[in-house]
Amino acid sequence: METKAELNGLGDHIEEVRSICRQLQSLLRQIPGCNAGPFESEADALMDRWLDLSERTDSHLENLHLCLTLWDGVLQLGEEVERWTTSRIAVLSQCPSFQSEDDIKALQNEIVTQEESAQRFHRRTAEIQSLLQSAETPLELQVDH
């Protein structure tokens, strides 16, 4: 968040540079025979890059927040499966045999429920990985010279 705040703080400075470049460009045009440099267009390009960077930063922050929410869910699922496993192991170690066919079916249903939890766990972790992977070209390689 600190980086985001710093980035937002740069916006005013970039706009100020852009305004000064426009004024300078305008003044240089008034001087006869003066070949004015591309101050205004360079300032506009700088602003465009800053806006692009800000948008991507916002997008990455949103993805990170979503990943944190998903991760909390993954941790909860893991805790639920661990509690169930610990509980079932304790019960089975005290009474390793089943009393009836209903006991076997109940355990089978519990196992199916836990398998579904494991599948949700894997789907959420895959979603987190997908959100964290970026196919974007690194900023260092996008800088125009």
Mean pLDDT for 65-73 is 92
Q: Where are the domains of the chain?
A: 2-142
Residue 142 has pLDDT above 70, yes or no: no
What element of type H or E holds 33?
A: none
Own/partner long-range contacts of 15-24 (Cβ < 8 Å, ≥24 apart): 15/47, 17/43, 17/46, 18/43, 18/44, 18/46, 18/47
Model confidence pLDDT, tens digit, residues 88-135: 899 888 887 778 889 889 989 999 999 999 999 999 999 999 888 866
Number of helices and strands (H, E) in the chain? Answer: 4, 0
Instruction: Classify burial at 3, counting beta carbons within 10 Å of its beta carbon; exposed 0-12, middle 13-18, buried 19 or more.
Output: exposed
The pLDDT of residue 69: 93
